[in-house]
């Protein structure tokens, strides 16, 4: 039985093309970190393009990038908020606090990181929390 996604050669066609796709924003390191919208992809149906085609958001001249996308980078999504996982440590030698946090992105992704606070910053934070609690 033949799959509906099978090509004439009998190979299963990809249901979703890997990044980048048409309309994606990309940073091109070969073009001095220029940001562009992907407006054409190699082998796109009806085209003979052998490279990615990009254009500055809002218009402008197109440029091309290698077909393997090796010079293109994803733009990080915006961080919507950060949460703590409850882990913190005080470094006596450096005289600062380190709090483990997780950055949550608009696209649903997340990444772990650290918030470093000097002794003064930590004392100010504690004072603010206490004053907010007493105001309740």
Query: Which domain CATH number covers 25?
Result: 2.30.30
**What range does the domain containing 55 cover?**
1-75
The answer to whether residue 6 scores a pLDDT higher than 60 is no
Do 125 and 62 have their domain in common?
Answer: no
DSSP 44: -
> Is the pTM value of this prediction over 0.75?
no
Residue 80 CA to residue 88 CA, distance in Å, equals: 22
Do 61 and 106 have their domain in common?
Answer: no
Contacts of 3 (CB under 8 A, 6+ apart): 12
Question: Rounded to 10 degrees, what is the CA torsion of 92, 95, 101, 103?
Answer: -150
Across the chain, which distance is largest between two alpha carbons, in Å?
Answer: 73
Do 69 and 85 have their domain in common?
Answer: no
Specify the pLDDT at position 129.
93
The residue among 30, 53, 75 that closes a domain is 75
Do 101 and 40 have their domain in common?
Answer: no
The answer to whether residue 98 scores a pLDDT higher than 80 is yes
Specify the pLDDT at position 32.
94
Distances (CA, A) of 70 to 56, 61, 67, 97, 109: 19, 21, 8, 39, 23
Specify the pLDDT at position 46.
66
Do 61 and 101 have their domain in common?
Answer: no
Specify the pLDDT at position 16.
58
Higher pLDDT among residues 3 and 106, named by residue? 106
Counting the structural domains of the chain, the total is: 2
């Amino acid at each position: 039985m033949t799959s509906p996604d099978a090509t004439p050669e009998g190979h299963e066609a990809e249901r979703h093309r890997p990044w980048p796709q048409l309309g994606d924003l990309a940073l091109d390191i070969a073009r001095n970190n220029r940001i562009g919208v992907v407006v054409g992809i190699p082998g796109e149906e009806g085209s003979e393009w052998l490279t990615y085609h990009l254009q500055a958001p809002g218009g402008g001249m197109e440029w091309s990038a290698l077909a393997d996308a090796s010079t293109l980078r994803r733009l990080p999504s915006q961080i919507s908020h950060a949460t703590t996982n409850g882990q913190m440590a005080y470094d006596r030698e450096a005289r600062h606090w380190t709090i483990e946090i997780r950055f949550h992105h608009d696209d649903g992704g997340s990444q772990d990181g650290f918030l470093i606070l000097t002794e003064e910053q930590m004392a100010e934070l504690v004072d603010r929390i206490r004053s907010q609690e007493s105001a309740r």
